Amino acid sequence: MPELPEVETVVRSVAAHLAGRRIISSHFTSRFVTPGNRAKLVQRLAGRRIESVKRRGKFIIIALDRGTLTVHLGMTGKLLVEGEAGEHTHGVFNLDGGLLLYHDPRQFGRIEFSDGVPPRVARLGPEPLEIGFEEFRARLKRKARIKALLLNQAFLAGLGNIYADESLFAAGIHPLAVADRLSAARAKKLYDAIRGILTHAIQMGGSSISDYVNGRGERGWFQMEHRVYGREGEPCTNCGRPIRKILVAQRGTHFCAHCQKK
């Protein structure tokens, strides 16, 4: 579920509620979500105070008075400050004012404690909403297919399958286009498309295409704005020809063969 706009929405929905709260105790039930020594994790979290909740790429960064708790939602993770624990709840934080729950049926998400910046966060590329155009263009000087590059978190942090496809459509660029062969004008179109779509999606509370909800259980609405993602066979909103779906970088890739050029 979670790409940059969804993670940003989750962070915004829980940050004020969590800041200043103390973790009384915690409980974890998945060896996948919380790899390693769970008893040690519980011990390290006990008594910690939450200083802030922020986002970096698709990671939720919870700064504690000692150490950092990093949460990645994977494909089906939810961080909730409302609701109750259920069958797929794999993390429970008892705070000095309420509960914080981590729910994740597929268990592709991760909850990790670290003293410094976690390695996975350290490897992230720039934030798409903060990078300047010149740096963006310089980073495109690689002979990889643009769709694969947009999904690469070391290239840019936060784009996933939905927003990569939507950004390429908005920029009129074919997903198989080779990155270092894009003209400056087309690179600028892509840069603007990425920023415009991410900003718009955040305003709409993200995309709820299956069951995504923010930290208070509320759905997002950007799925109503999707032009290509999940629209295989439906008419292109620009030219009316059917949206096609192919496999690029192992991911389903939606595009209009008429409106998006290599």
Partner DNA sequence: TCAAATGTTTGATC
Partner DNA sequence: GGATCAAACATTTG
Residues of the shown chain interacting with DNA in the complex, contacts defined by CB under 7 A: 1-3, 6, 32, 57-58, 72, 74-76, 87-88, 105-108, 120, 123, 142-145, 148, 151, 153, 160-162, 207-212, 245, 248-252
Q: DSSP state, 227?
A: S
C-alpha distances (whole Å) from 201 to each of 25, 178, 198, 204, 255 are: 35, 26, 5, 5, 19
The three-class DSSP label of residue 110 is strand
CB closer to DNA, 207 vs 214? 207
Instruction: Give yes or no: 137 in active site.
Output: no
CB of 121 to DNA, least distance (A): 9
Instruction: Give yes or no: 242 in active site.
Output: no
Instruction: Give yes or no: 130 in active site.
Output: no
CB of 258 to DNA, least distance (A): 21
| Catalytic-labelled residue, pool 44, 56, 58, 78 | 58
CB closer to DNA, 95 vs 155? 155
CB of 201 to DNA, least distance (A): 10
CB of 104 to DNA, least distance (A): 9
The three-class DSSP label of residue 179 is helix
Task: Give me the helices (H) in 56-183, please.
Answer: 119-122, 133-139, 146-151, 161-171
CB closer to DNA, 23 vs 163? 163
Instruction: Give yes or no: 84 in active site.
Output: no
Which of 86-97 are b and which e, b meaning 16 or more Cβ less than 10 Å from the residue's Cβ? eebbbbbbebee
Quick one: how many helices (H) and strands (E) in the chain? 7, 10
C-alpha distances (whole Å) from 116 to each of 52, 135, 207, 220 are: 15, 27, 32, 33
| Catalytic-labelled residue, pool 49, 195, 244, 251 | 251
CB closer to DNA, 17 vs 145? 145
Residues designated as active site: 2-3, 58, 251
